[in-house]
Amino acid sequence: MSSYPAGSRSVSSITDGGEVPGGGLMVAVRLADVASPLRNGGLPGEGDRSALVVGGTEKIRTGDVTVFLKVVAVAPAQVRRDGRVQAQGSPAAHATLGPLEEWLEQKAGPGVIDGIADRAVLREEFVKGERERLLARAFMIRVIVLMTLMPDADVREAVIALAGDLAMVPWARAWAPASARAAGDWRNALGPGPLEELQGIVQRASHREHEDRDWQAAVIGRRKPLKTGSLDGTLIRVPDTPANRAAFGSVGTADDSSPFPQVRALPLTDASTRALLGMPHGPAVIHGFSSIEPCFRRLHRCCD
């Protein structure tokens, strides 16, 4: 039988002791070599919580029906008496923020979030942190960061999104997304400290990246380079006083009964440094129409 010998560059050395490299790995296995680990020979059902196994190591040849598998986790196995193969641990110990976290570790060193989590002191009136199967310090920090990128999602939906394909792994101890209440308790237990520390690390890394590029990262045009900016209209609530309501008005109601008067603004920011270059503003409406056009005219005069 033609088989694959173990070379000097084994997968265990490539994965750096259990960590899946950035971008993930794909494993190709002949369909004929995929087998059931159950002693009865049947395929694992949904309630069995077991993975299939590779039952042979023949070399793949052109035309062989092959299964291509995405590597989700590298973890110690737990083999049951009936043959079921499960994974030790939980998604809380394996989930990451993907490319976002890879960028952070490239700029600020490996294990940034895990290091912050190790230093975090939980407030015991909320959680003790002794059992970290469903939630853990580092996992919860990542959930909170992910919530800023998913503004329409609640905390439980962020937990599910962070776990991703890890939720499909047959863990030795069944894993389910934590409830919104449990996630809220963990968030309160962490407090603002770990996230403020992470914010500082991200800001310093971003500052260094801009310094390396001489603060001119975002430019367009070759013959006459121009700085790239970002422009977007917005409405800003102001205190509900008679003077503000008369000066700015409001939107959303025909009779100006909106709870707050609103200022229509047009912030212009530098795409490289995020600095605010200007923000012409005015009433929310003029004669029943949006005041965005006057804001554009004022902005054009400022740029000239």
Q: Which of 150, 184, 210 is the last residue of a domain?
A: 210
120 and 75 housed in the same domain: no
pLDDT of residue 114: 92
Q: Which of 176, 210, 244 is the last residue of a domain?
A: 210
99 and 33 housed in the same domain: no
Q: Which of 159, 175, 210 is the last residue of a domain?
A: 210
119 and 28 housed in the same domain: no
The count of domains in the chain is: 3
Of 281, 271, 275, 286, the closest CA to residue 302 belongs to: 281
Model confidence at 17: pLDDT above 80: no
Cα radius of gyration rounded to whole Å, the chain = 27
In a domain, 263, yes or no: yes
Indicate the pTM of the whole model: 0.64
219-244: buried (b, 16+ CB within 10 Å) or exposed (e) per residue? eeeeeeeeeebeeeeeeeebeeeeeb
193 and 232 housed in the same domain: no
List, for residues 83-101, the tens digit of each pLDDT value.
888 899 889 889 999 888 8
List, for residues 222-261, the tens digit of each pLDDT value.
777 777 778 888 888 888 888 988 888 888 777 777 888 8
List, for residues 110-166, the tens digit of each pLDDT value.
899 999 999 988 888 887 766 666 788 999 999 999 998 888 888 899 999 999 989
Question: Residue 174 belongs to what domain range?
Answer: 93-210
3-state SS record for 126-171: CCCCCCCCCCCHHHHHHHHHHHHHCCCCCHHHHHHHHHHHHHHCCE
Which 3 state secondary structure label does DSSP give 97? coil
